[in-house]
Structure 1
């Protein structure tokens, strides 16, 4: 059995995923991290930027959530190097910038729901072999039904008639993340007897590439992505074990 906590994380060459890897490297707990990303050049650059990893080990893992062949190849690589994994972090995501349409909905759902399911389904045989397995899904604060139904003065109800003014493009993203929350609940229920602790992580409004221009997001009040990285580390190291099966924020449980 490895003395290190073995982690697989997707979408880790930038943003919150990158910051999560940085957080693991700062821990006194030794980590063996398979750093997943779609683009191999960006992945290699990200790993090089971490510098000396000390007691930890980083392994590049090419994985594209839109390709079953890529997911299968990533599983083959990981299973050839380790007998189990302790943590699977489904961090990779997509947010279309196009107006809502069949195509833009399918784009976000394909990555955030179908692709994430495929990764989880593929890696679960390794995860359930761990003595303390953890499964994390990165969601959004905008996926809360309770909160999005509250009146918002900045977004007045449009006048009667059709067509309406163009719907915001984030409708594709937030609805896919709401679907992801439901998928998390089902995984949490089905994996109960395998002792897998499961969460959706809602990191908050952070300045990442997923949300567009980072500087513009900062001007709007977005926080440092490092906050999301340390949040993930805290969950992996047991800080929110009382909230298993829920959507959690750094300070509270997110309303459904």
Structure 2
């Protein structure tokens, strides 16, 4: 029987790469592609199916906006009525808003509140809502997509641009301001993962945070600029996530996984 995998924010970026990787797997999956827009979801599905015309799996669109509780409840009701369970929940939906703040489109409070609402609070509510379906699986798996910028111990690594101090004294600081709201929220997400690992351990739910690396997605608003800054191909994230879904990292539950090992706290 095909395993049921629900991926939020999966019509683009890392989420879409996870869909691609699962769809071309030798294993059989019922992939639920979560997106705020059904039009975007269906467009993404058409793209994947055209790329891989032969597959053991299916892809179904699910409308979900993780900032909207009614949308989350509706998505749950749809999946519960049609499938009755989940085997894997991949909390991929997330966003970075620093560029909007720099452009004057968000106030500082809006920047921080929105960063936490999308990356932590919305993810928490999705997880809480869907746990009953996960617990109906014989091998439940819960994944949270995090960031390499979230590591506390790694924040002193000056080889990483977001860790470098401004060169000028005084206030305000000129130049690149980094992504403090985003990385703080993702650090919070790592603790959220640890809490779910603690809460669900006796229920045999395998829980991880996934840190795919610095990749040229649309997260920061400009993939091409990210590439010039050294970002990798988002395609590498798909096989990595699939490897966790298919059991290759079962010895590392409760940790933040990188493609090459474990991310420091």
> Shorter-chain TM-score category?
over 0.9
| Residue of structure 2 equivalent to 1:22 | 20
| Residue of structure 2 equivalent to 1:89 | 90
Moved more, 52-61 or 184-193: 52-61
CA distance in 2, matches of 1:48, 1:153: 37
CA distance in 1, matches of 2:243, 2:221: 27
Could you tell me the TM-score, scaled by structure 2's length? 0.91
| Residue of structure 2 equivalent to 1:13 | 11
| Residue of structure 2 equivalent to 1:115 | 122
Matches within 5 A, 1:165-244: 165=174, 168-244=177-253
Is the CA contact (8 Å cut-off) linking 2:66 and 2:123 kept in structure 1?
yes
CA distance in 2, matches of 1:156, 1:56: 48
Matches within 5 A, 1:125-136: 125-136=132-143
Is the CA contact (8 Å cut-off) linking 1:135 and 1:196 kept in structure 2?
yes
State the 1:255 CA deviation: 0.4
Unaligned regions of 5+ residues in structure 2, if any? none
| Residue of structure 1 equivalent to 2:30 | 32
Could you tell me the TM-score, scaled by structure 1's length? 0.94
How many equivalent residue pairs?
A: 254
Aligned pair 1:79/2:106, yes or no? no
| Residue of structure 2 equivalent to 1:44 | 42
Q: How much is the aligned-residue C-alpha RMSD, in angstroms?
A: 1.7
Is the CA contact (8 Å cut-off) linking 2:166 and 2:173 kept in structure 1?
no
Q: Would the alpha carbon gap of residues 225 and 152 (structure 1) be closer, same or farther in structure 2, given more than 3 Å must change? A: closer
Q: Cα deviation per residue 1:89-131 (whole Å; 9 max; x = unaligned)? A: 0001010021471110111111000000010000000001110
Aligned pair 1:148/2:170, yes or no? no
Unaligned regions of 5+ residues in structure 1, if any? none
CA distance in 2, matches of 1:168, 1:174: 12
Moved more, 196-205 or 145-154: 145-154
